[in-house]
Structure 1
Amino acid sequence: MLKFNQILKHLKDFLREIGELTHFTSRFFKEAVRLPFEFKELLRQSYNMGNRSLLLVAITGFIIGLVLTLQTRPTLMEFGAVSWMPSMVGISIVREIGPMITALVCAGRIGSGIGAEIGSMRVTEQIDAMEVSGTNPFKYLVVTRIMATTLMIPLLVIFGDAIALYGSYLVENIKGAVSFQLYFNQVFDTLEFGDIVPATIKSFFFGFAIGLVGCFKGYFCDKGTAGVGKAANSAVVFTSLLLFIIDFIAVLAADIFYEL
């Protein structure tokens, strides 16, 4: 009986948090279209998120390209299909691996940073001070950050895909003496419009989810320094789970569209 009550309590807490997140999302859309627009803060946040994540995304993408090619090449050689390596790697990275891995990296790098930053402002009562002074903290802190992640994650995904393909090319160049032009000609000959567009569209949703959850966890942070750490940690965990759900829905929707 006690265990059942605990499960019921966790379920109620989960449903309540989903409801609060839904209300938080609706408030974002209302505030996003109201004047005045915080363009300077939006540009500052976009620059900080994009510029500070470039190196991490580049290293991650480069290693993904190297590992994927090194792991797949021996298998393709057994079947005499090593010439298909550029096509296979290109489709794998652009369709799925690139957007998903980049989004997960950014969830850890950007999402936790947003949760900790806004959470510390909540704990130190800076948000309350902004409300008292007549400033709209939701528009200044939340709307700008969510819009910045929504705009920057697709750009980071494209950058990460390019670096990953270059890493794959280096392996092919060393192992099979494949030229740069030949490798990327095969990659772009294989990629179609239907491969690039869905991956780009879902990366916008990835960015929105990262910014939304990070801001939500930080904005409703518990009091004390422990609350800031909890907000940053839960932002990463919740965002990662949400990214997998969004990815599943996107793949399922694309599959249904292709069948029609």
Structure 2
Amino acid sequence: MKFFESIGDYCVLMTKVLKKPQKMSMFWSDLLREMDKLGVGSMRIVMVISLFMGGILTLQVSYNLSNPFMPKYLIGLGNRDTLILEFSSTILGLILAGKVGSNIATEIGSMRVSEQIDSLDIMGVNSANYLILPKLIACVLFNPILYVLSVATGIIGGAIVGPVTGVVSMGDYVEGLVHTFNPFYVTFSFIKTLVFGFIIASIPAYYGYNVRGGALEVGKASTDSVVLSSILILCADLVITQLFFK
């Protein structure tokens, strides 16, 4: 029963969030600030993780190609498809759920327990729209950008590690990158990143907005939001993959 009540509360909150802002000039200012904080601020960790994962994937694919008759370009192809289809969308979404999601839940939760949100409501401000909408749009818009950055950095990581370790030449690696490329894979992953961006922002915002108590409850809400966001990202990945590849 409590589960369905939570879904109802979430839908009510999103109804308040997805309304036209009362002051567009303030909304655009907040949106740019959130894009810088949540999006640009995540670029470094995305690049570092993707660079190493690209190198690791290249080594793992090469070690599994034990048959000497298997062409070496399959290493670049395997790295490319793994990054495009799964790592740079789903795995990166899980990482951002921990970094960005916890930040959103903690920030909004702290405002709730310090009664700043109550003050906004008393002044007649749509606090849900004012606080959550810029974060929601920033995550949805910037997540595809981070996805592209992750794919590019991962491919570069493979291009560095492959030739340096001698598992694949640069020519074979590049041949694998362009071999039988399917543009639909990119479209499919872009759709996933948009959905994941919405989950990463909306679930932590819901937990932070509805937290009650003090600092301890804010921390628990942040943890719970990351766990639920991660589960929903994996569920959404399963559903979207089934819809597009059945």
Please give the range of the TM-score, normalised by the shorter of the 2 chains: over 0.9
Counterpart residue number, 1:67:
56
* 118-127 or 223-232, larger mean C-alpha shift: 223-232
Structure 2 partner of 1:36: 23
Percent identity reads: 27
Residue 26 (structure 2) pairs with residue 16 (structure 1): no
CA distance in 1, matches of 2:168, 2:53: 20
Q: CA deviation at 1:222?
A: 1.7
Residue type matched to 1:42 in 2? L
1:248 match? 238
Root mean square deviation of aligned Cα: 1.7
**What displacement does 1:242 show?**
0.6
What SS does the aligned partner of 1:190 have?
Answer: coil
> Over residues 148-193 of structure 1, what are the superposed CA-to-partner deviations in whole Å (9 max), with x where a residue is unaligned?
11111111111111111111111221214622x6634531343212
Aligned AA (1:40)? S
Shift of 1:132: 2.1
* Structure 1: distance between partners of 2:168 and 2:84: 24
Name the counterpart of 2:169: 178
8 A Cα contact 1:69 1:171, kept in partner: yes
1:77 aligns to what SS in structure 2?
coil
Are the counterparts in 2 of residues 116 and 232 from structure 1 also a CA contact under 8 Å?
Answer: yes
Flag the 1:88–1:131 CA change in 2: closer, same or farther, 3 A: same
| Aligned-residue offset at 1:28 | 2.7
1:22 to partner: Cα distance: 2.4
Structure 1 residue 133 corresponds to structure 2 residue 120:
no
Does structure 2 conserve the Cα–Cα contact (< 8 Å) formed by 1:107 and 1:236? yes
5+ long unaligned stretches in structure 1: 1-11
Aligned partner of 1:4 in structure 2 is: none
**Structure 1 partner of 2:110:** 120
State the 1:14 CA deviation. 1.9
Superimposed CA distance per residue, residues 9-44 of structure 1 (whole angstroms, 9 cap, x where no aligned partner): xxx222221222222233333x1x355331110111
* Residue aligning to 1:51: 40
Count residues with an aligned counterpart.
242
Distance in 2 (alpha carbons) for counterparts of 1:63 and 1:229:
31
Q: CA deviation at 1:114?
A: 0.2
Q: CA-to-partner distance for each residue in 1:184-229, whole Å, 9 max, x for gaps? A: 4531343212111010111011001100001101000121111110
Q: Is the 8 A contact 1:90 1:191 kept in 2?
A: no
